[in-house]
Every structure is written in C-alpha cells, then in structure tokens.
C-alpha cells in the first residue's frame, strides 16, 4: 500500500509533506522518552510486516500493523511510521521519497484514530480488549486503503478504478490484520501491560 514515485501531483505531494512534518513534530514532542524502546520495537514490527507479501489474484498485499502501532503509541506513531517508511523506500524501493509525506499520512492518520477511538476500550475486559483490537486492525487497513484511493483520485480522476481495486484487494488483509491485532494486544496486556499508554496521556 505504497504510492510510488511520479504518481502524485505536486500539490498532493507538498500537502502530504507539510501534514506529515506537522504530525511528526507533534509526535516527537509527545513521546515519553521512558518508553522510547516501545516506539523502536513497534517501528521495527511495522517495517518487517511489509516484507511479508500475500498474493490475492493479480495483485499482492501485505500486513501493515499501523493499527497496533497507533493503538500503543498514539502521536508517537508519526515518527515511528515515518522512520519505517523512509527505510523501506531507501532499502527496498517501496514507495518513493517524493511520495513519502503522503504515504506517512495514509498510514499514520488511521493509526492515530485507532488510538483515540479504540484505545479507551483496551484493558476493560478480555472480550472488550479483543473486539477493540480487532476493529483497530480492520479499520486501520480500511481507512489506509481509502486514503490511498483519495490521494490517487485527487491526483487524477481516472484512477478511480485503481482505487476500487486497492480497497477490494485489501479486504482479506483487513480481516487477517484484525485477528492478529486482537491476539497481539490481548497477549501484550497479559505479559507486558506497561506497553499500553498511561491513563491521561490522551
């Protein structure tokens, strides 16, 4: 779910860089440096997830994990996702440097929304935690696919069919990522509850 070089229009790219820079600056300001290791671990997980590709018909998709990154990091998801996407672009040519700002926004906005919408339900009960975590994984992929489609459509209306294909191809990934996020968060609460954001951080 990366937009490559030469696809987006100038205004879309510039807007993406400005918004990503603002989100990253705020994320760096809000990082609890006692939990910087958590940020690094989740950024690494986000980086690795994109290397696991799943063939779905004529296209391929991959796990993203931006939902769990946002759920556990909040605003710190911006610098974590920026770092991972930058390294992916440099080492594996996933996406492009000119599209980096937009790619960050595509991943980070759903991550941040997950933090505020589903975060308050984490830890209330085992069932509530799993349901909220599943919805985090599912909705973060759905929103990322929709944001990618919007970015392409704003650039060129003829990309509409491509947008529909992107969203459709990621439906299985939404379900898989929802299940993985549900089990991961439920497990983390049992073995390492300190990774959850502290009460009042929102």
pLDDT in tens, 49-88: 877 766 554 445 677 889 999 999 999 999 999 999 999 8
Confidence grade of residue 159 (pLDDT, cut at 50, 70, 90): low
Average pLDDT, the chain: 84
For residues 142-162, average pLDDT: 80
Residues 6+ apart with CB under 8 A from 37: none
Domain ranges, ordered by start, for the chain:
10-195
Beta bridge partners, 53, equal: 62
State residue 77's pLDDT score: 92
Strands (E), the chain: 53-56, 59-62
- Burial readout 127-161 (b: 16 or more C-beta within 10 A, e: otherwise): eebbebbbbbbbbbbbbbbbbbbebbeebeeebee
Least confident range from 33-37, 51-55, 159-163: namely 51-55
State residue 59's pLDDT score: 45
Least confident range from 15-24, 26-35, 178-187: namely 26-35
Confidence grade of residue 179 (pLDDT, cut at 50, 70, 90): very high
State residue 57's pLDDT score: 46
For residues 120-141, average pLDDT: 92
pTM for the model: 0.85
Least confident range from 23-32, 126-135, 190-199: namely 190-199
pLDDT over 50 (residue 200): no
pLDDT over 90 (residue 160): no
CB atoms within 10 A of CB 100: 21
113: helix, coil or strand?
helix
- Between 1.25.40.10, 3.40.50.150, 1.10.3720.10, 1.10.1760.20, what CATH number should domain 10-195 receive? 1.10.1760.20
For residues 109-116, average pLDDT: 94
For residues 87-104, average pLDDT: 84
Number of H helices and E strands in the chain, helices first, is: 8, 2
Q: How far is CA 7 from CA 10, 12, 72, 97, 98, in A?
A: 10, 10, 32, 12, 10
**Contact indicator for 148, 8 with CB cutoff of 8 Å:** no
């Amino acid at each position: 779910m990366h937009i490559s070089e030469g696809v987006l229009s100038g205004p879309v790219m510039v807007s993406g860089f400005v918004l990503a820079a603002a989100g990253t600056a705020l994320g760096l300001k809000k990082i609890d440096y006692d939990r910087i290791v958590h940020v690094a671990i989740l950024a690494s997980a986000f980086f690795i997830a994109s290397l696991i590709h799943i063939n779905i018909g004529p296209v391929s998709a991959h796990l993203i994990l931006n939902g769990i990154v946002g759920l556990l990091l909040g605003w710190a998801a911006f610098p974590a996702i920026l770092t991972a996407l930058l390294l992916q672009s440099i080492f594996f040519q996933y996406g492009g440097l000119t599209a980096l700002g937009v790619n960050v926004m595509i991943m980070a906005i759903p991550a941040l929304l997950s933090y505020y919408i589903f975060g308050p339900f984490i830890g209330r009960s085992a069932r509530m935690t799993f349901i909220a975590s599943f919805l985090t994984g599912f909705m973060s992929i759905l929103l990322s696919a929709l944001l990618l489609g919007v970015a392409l459509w704003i650039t060129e209306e003829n990309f509409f069919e491509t947008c529909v294909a992107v969203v459709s191809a990621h439906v299985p990934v939404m379900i898989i990522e929802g299940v993985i996020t549900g089990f991961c968060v439920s497990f983390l609460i049992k073995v390492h509850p300190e990774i959850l954001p502290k009460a009042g951080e929102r």
